[in-house]
Every structure is written in C-alpha cells, then in structure tokens.
Amino acid sequence: MNDSNGYAVFFFPQALEALGEAIKPYLQDSPAGPHVLCNEIDTAGALVEMTLLGNAPDGKRLALELMVPSGMVRMIVSTHSDELFGFGPHAFGTPAPALPAVGPTAQPAAAPPEAMPAAAPAAAAAAAGDATKKPQA
C-alpha cells in the first residue's frame, strides 16, 4: 500500500478471471491479495466507480475512472497513512496493559465504587430538603 488516503478494492477470484487482462494494469499485489488502489469511490449504483490518479506518458496528471459491476467486489478497505494501519506486522511502542481477570474465580474489586461518593447522600438530602421548603410570607 502507499501512504495516500484512499481505498483498496478487492475482487472475487471469479471477477478477476472474468475481467482478465483488462484489469491487470490497475491491480497491485499485497499479502491480502490483488487489489485496486483508488482515491475516490462511489458505490451508489449497479457499478462501483473508482477514481484513480496517475500520470500520463507525457507527465501530465491524469484522473481515470474505472467501473466494475458491484457484484464483483469482495471488499473495500479504507487506507490511511497511519503507521498502525496495513496488512503487515505492526510494532507497537508500548505493550497494552494487562487487564484484570473477570469471572467467577476472579478476585473482587478492592476499591469502593465511585459512582456515589460517601458524602453525596447527606448533601443530596440537604439539597432536597431546601427545595421542599416553602418560602415564608
């Protein structure tokens, strides 16, 4: 994959066979299989419309629209320039923290729940009492 944002469009094997030589110039290979990288995609109709950006032989920028029947598309993956995205192995900077065991054999939580602090019931009752008092005339 490259570093640009866009989409990787994967096809069913039968679709690649049916499209034959016509699709081969647009395919890129990866460990996940052959796919078409495109900058924009429209899946709103019977055809999946893919916009590919490239260079013409004379060096001019070229926008190419490639359309295939939607039934040929197996999967569309959004690509990002993030270093943690892609089909290869990832090296994470710090390991994820270990989560505590849960279930019938796990130790109960040692900390009290913080949803209702200990001082809250008295403060709530005092506030409720003030709200129920009628103003004196």
Does residue 121 sit within a domain? Answer: no
Does residue 73 sit within a domain? Answer: yes
**pLDDT for 65 beyond 80:** yes
Return the DSSP state at 92: -
| Residue 50, token pair as written in the block | 């893919």
pLDDT score, position 107: 65
Q: What is the percent of the chain with per-residue pLDDT over 70, rounded to a whole number?
A: 55
| Residue 74, token pair as written in the block | 């197996």
pLDDT in tens, 86-116: 555 555 555 656 666 666 666 666 666 666 5
Q: What is the rounded distance in angstroms from the CA atom of residue 11 to the CA atom of residue 30?
A: 13
Of 127 and 33, the structure prediction assigns the larger pLDDT to 33
The angle subtended at Cα 56 by Cα 32 and Cα 3, nearest 5°, is: 35
**pLDDT for 37 beyond 50:** yes
Could you list the residue range(s) of the whole structural domain that residue 25 is in? 6-79
Does residue 84 sit within a domain? Answer: no
Does residue 50 sit within a domain? Answer: yes
Are β-strands 6-11 and 73-79 bridged in parallel, bridged antiparallel, or unpaired? antiparallel
- Number of structural domains found in the chain: 1
Q: Which among 125, 117, 35, 116 has a CA at the least distance from the CA of 76?
A: 35
pLDDT score, position 1: 39
Of 83 and 65, the structure prediction assigns the larger pLDDT to 65
E strand or H helix at 122: helix 120-132
What pTM did the predictor assign? 0.55
**pLDDT for 33 beyond 60:** yes
Does residue 33 sit within a domain? Answer: yes
Does residue 55 sit within a domain? Answer: yes
Q: Which among 2, 21, 22, 31 has a CA at the least distance from the CA of 10?
A: 31
Does residue 131 sit within a domain? Answer: no
Q: What is the rounded distance in angstroms from the CA atom of residue 23 to the CA atom of residue 29?
A: 13
Does residue 27 sit within a domain? Answer: yes
